[in-house]
Amino acid sequence: MDVLKHASIPLLAFLALSKNPSLISIIILVFGSIFPDFDVFFKEHRSYFHSLLLLAPLFTVSLYVQNIYLRLFVFGIGIHLFLDFFSGVIPFLYPLRKKGFGLKVLGVVAFESLPRISVKYEILVGYPSKSRGSYVGFSNDSLAITLIALIVLLIRLNILSI
């Protein structure tokens, strides 16, 4: 998943849930939501910063420290890992164990005659990829999602009204 989706999707969720979003809160959330991919600057991408060995201690500290900015940062990291889980593999225990897992939903079938839904899925297994040392690049649909997020942001910050 690219940087624009990683920034826009948590931003949209935060803007939908927050009663009074501030600019500093938004900046910290977005920074947290793209932070894990800074591990592209290590030898392997989806490595140290995509591990629960980073997220779990941060999450625990955020429960005890009454700091909204720390919680937003951790929330951003958590959403990043959640999104990556559906678009590849996450090495949950990196560097102790490099093998990662992901989920690929192949299709959902709803049967009309029975109140039943069938979900076809595949568990992905893989390893961190060799880092290419860059974190730029996005798709056209990511740009569209980002533009929607920016419009919602301008509206929520009362810069734009509808």
The reply to whether 44 sits near Zn ion by the rule CB under 5 A is no
Site string for Zn ion, 114-143 (x = CB under 5 A): ------------------------------
**Cα angle 79, 118, 124; round to 5:** 45
The residue count for binding Zn ion (CB under 5 A) is 3
Minimum CB distance to Zn ion, residue 49 (Å):
8
The reply to whether 37 sits near Zn ion by the rule CB under 5 A is yes
CA distance linking residue 36 with residue 49, whole number of Å: 5
Residue among 32 and 36 whose Cβ is closer to Zn ion: 36
User: Which of 2, 55, 78, 84 is in the footprint of Zn ion by CB under 5 A?
Assistant: 84
CA distance linking residue 58 with residue 71, whole number of Å: 9
CA distance linking residue 41 with residue 61, whole number of Å: 26
Q: Collect contacts of 23-26 with beta carbons under 8 A, ≥24 apart.
A: 23/157, 24/69, 25/68, 25/69, 25/72, 26/153
Residue among 25 and 131 whose Cβ is closer to Zn ion: 131
Query: Taking Cα atoms as reference points, which of 37, 30, 27, 26 lies closest to residue 1?
Result: 37
Residue among 35 and 59 whose Cβ is closer to Zn ion: 35
- The stretch among 15-23, 34-42, 65-73, 142-150 that binds Zn ion (CB under 5 A) is 34-42
Minimum CB distance to Zn ion, residue 37 (Å):
4
Q: Which residues bind Zn ion (CB under 5 A)?
A: 36-37, 84
